[in-house]
Structures are given as structure tokens and as C-alpha cells.
Amino acid sequence: MPVGNIPTDVDLETRPKLRKQERRKHILLELRLRPHVRISELADHFRVSAETVRRDIGKLSDDGLLDRAHGGASAIISGRYPSFNERATDRVNERERIGRLAANLVQPGETLMVDSGATTLQLARFLAFDGTPCTVFTNSFPVAMALGQSDAANVVVCPGDYLSSESAVVGTDAVEFLQRHSVDRCLIGASGLSEGGPSETIRGFAAVKRTMLRQCRMSHLLIDGRKFGREGLAQIGNLSDLTSVVSDQDPTAELAKSLRHSNVEVLVAR
């Protein structure tokens, strides 16, 4: 008779150990079935040390795919946040102005990383409309499709775990893919921008954005002015990680002072 999914006649000591990526996918699968997993149980199941499982959980937490908890990990419980489609139909004129100005920053022949978002989609549309020659790495299918309208753009889509509400990929595979490339610029969005830096609310996005910031020479944050002063669940980086902020309005006095102190240029799309 089987016990769980493992037959009783299987010798667990001779069963092949799972590789790192397989273990991490299994941890995420477990969290879809129950809200919490314990390190000790996973270590016994995988036949590895508790420290190995702790590193797995740490990496998945850094990628925004689970929450670390005492003795284990928990599934992320996220609040209601507008979907990509909802955001894409909100404040369209403002996003278009931001996207147009940001597209003017890109020089012909540059390599870019562009993340998923309603405002970065407008950037992609203007790059395609202008026929700007560029190579773009993105985790966003809408961004890829918009740029795909231009014969001048070479588009590379990241691998990863598909997030249907955002039409984008996230996770370890996406992050590790981006880490293998270096580009001239990254152009990213965020859920909020405060004196502590840009932050993100959507599960898995912060890790992708952090990686893009590390892999570029110049970094541009495209953000709706209503998000000034807001703080998302996960920190993306510090103000000093940014080359410029592109928005539809001037930041508040305190935020503007912090941006100047961090040598971040503010570009306002009028």
C-alpha cells in the first residue's frame, strides 16, 4: 500500500536526490497545497541538511515567491492590487507622456532591460513607433509584442514562472537569465517611490527589477506621480541605484531633496 505518493517498497535511501532547481519547484508546489511548510520536514523529504533547505527558502524569498517564517516558509498572502489590464487603462495620457520622454533617452543601437508594467508598455510602443534600433530583454509579453511591431528591435523574452494577471514571467529562472547579461540601460516601473527608494507590491517583480538595476550602466525609473511617497511590500533598491526618475509631475519637496542628494536626475513629462 502506498504512503502518500511514495510506495512502501521504495527505499528512500537509494531514491535519487533532487537537484537545487527541482527542490525549489517542489517547495513552491507544496505551498500551493498548504499554507506553511517546515524546514525539518523538507530536509527529511529531500534528504539534505536543514541549512540547504534554509538557503533554498532564502533564495525563493529573495525572488518574491514565498515568505520566510519561523522554522519554515509560508505562501504569500497579497492584498488587492490592480491587475495589469486595469492599470493599462488608467491615466493613459500621463503614461503616454512618460513613455514618450523615456523613449527619447534611448540611443540607437543600445541594449536595454525593460520590465513589466503599464507605463513601460508605453515606452515600448514609442520605441517601436520611432523605429529605434535596440536589443531589449524583457519579462513582459505585452512589452515584447509592442516592440515586435518594429523591425529595428531585437526582442529577447526571459524564461520564468508565468504570472497571468501581469502577462509576465517572474522567479528564479528569470532572475538567473538576466544575471547572465549586461546592458546599457534598464527602464523599470515601481509601485511606489519614497525617500527609502523604489518599492514593489506585485509578487516576484522586486527581484526582477533589482537584477535589472544591477545589470545596467544607466537606470531609469518610469513612475506615475501619484506613487510618490508610497511604499510597496518589497524594496527594489536605494535612490542612489537610479540614474533618473521619469514622471508626469514633480516629486514632493522632501523626496526631491533626497533625489538631489543621491544625484538622481528628475525628468518631468509635461
In this structure, is residue 79 part of a structural domain?
no
Cell of 112: 536595454
Q: Are residues 220 and 122 located together in one domain of the fold?
A: yes
Q: Are residues 156 and 225 located together in one domain of the fold?
A: yes
Cell of 266: 528628475
Which amino acid, one-letter code, is at 158?
C
Q: How high is the pLDDT of residue 2?
A: 38
Average pLDDT, the chain: 88
Q: Are residues 136 and 201 located together in one domain of the fold?
A: yes
Return the ∠ at Cα 95 (arms to 143 and 221), rounded to 5°. Answer: 75
Q: How high is the pLDDT of residue 161?
A: 93
Q: Does 126 have pLDDT greater than 80?
A: yes
This prediction has a pTM of: 0.72
Q: Are residues 99 and 67 located together in one domain of the fold?
A: no
Q: Are residues 181 and 248 located together in one domain of the fold?
A: yes
CA pseudo-torsion sign 131, 132, 134, 140: negative
Q: Are residues 41 and 142 located together in one domain of the fold?
A: no
Q: How high is the pLDDT of residue 9?
A: 40
> What span, in angstroms and rounded, lies between the C-alpha atoms of 267 and 247?
6
Q: Are residues 207 and 160 located together in one domain of the fold?
A: yes
State how many domains the chain has.
Answer: 2
> What span, in angstroms and rounded, lies between the C-alpha atoms of 91 and 102?
17
User: In the predicted model, what is the mean pLDDT of residues 219-233?
Assistant: 91
Q: Are residues 61 and 178 located together in one domain of the fold?
A: no
Q: CATH number for the domain including 107?
A: 3.40.50.1360
- Do the Cβ atoms of 247 and 264 come closer than 8 Å? no
Return the ∠ at Cα 128 (arms to 125 and 131), rounded to 5°. Answer: 150
List, in order, residues 6 or more apart from 10 with CB less than 8 Å away.
none
Burial, 50: exposed, middle or buried (Cβ in 10 Å; 0-12, 13-18, 19+)? middle
Q: Are residues 20 and 132 located together in one domain of the fold?
A: no
Q: What is the tens place of the pLDDT at every residue in 240-266?
A: 999 999 999 999 999 999 999 999 999
Domain end marker among 21, 45, 74: 74
Cell of 249: 509631475
> What span, in angstroms and rounded, lies between the C-alpha atoms of 218 and 197?
16
Q: What is the tens place of the pLDDT at every residue in 56-92?
A: 998 887 776 777 877 888 876 554 455 666 666 667 7
In this structure, is residue 256 part of a structural domain?
yes
DSSP 223: -
Q: CATH number for the domain including 65?
A: 1.10.10.10
Length of the chain: 270
Q: Are residues 49 and 127 located together in one domain of the fold?
A: no
Q: How high is the pLDDT of residue 165?
A: 84
- Do the Cβ atoms of 115 and 140 come closer than 8 Å? yes
Domain that holds residue 7: 2-74
Q: What is the DSSP string of 176-222?
A: HHHHT--EEEEEE--SEEETTEEEE-STTHHHHHHHHHHTEEEEEEE
Domain end marker among 55, 74, 93: 74
Domain end marker among 18, 44, 74: 74
Q: How high is the pLDDT of residue 183?
A: 98
Return the ∠ at Cα 168 (arms to 31 and 63), rounded to 5°. Answer: 45
Q: What is the tens place of the pLDDT at every residue in 162-209?
A: 988 889 999 999 999 999 999 999 999 999 999 999 999 887 899 999
Q: Are residues 23 and 131 located together in one domain of the fold?
A: no
pLDDT above 70: percentage of residues in the chain:
88
Q: What is the DSSP string of 1-21?
A: -EETTEETTS-TTTSPPPPHH
pLDDT above 90: percentage of residues in the chain:
65
Q: Are residues 49 and 142 located together in one domain of the fold?
A: no
Q: How high is the pLDDT of residue 175?
A: 95
Q: Does 158 have pLDDT greater than 80?
A: yes
Are β-strands 183-188 and 168-170 bridged in parallel, bridged antiparallel, or unpaired?
A: unpaired
Q: Does 5 have pLDDT greater than 50?
A: no
User: In the predicted model, what is the mean pLDDT of residues 215-242?
Assistant: 93
Q: How high is the pLDDT of residue 81?
A: 54
Residue reference for cell 527505499 = 11
> What span, in angstroms and rounded, lies between the C-alpha atoms of 121 and 18?
39
In this structure, is residue 164 part of a structural domain?
yes
Which amino acid, one-letter code, is at 187?
L
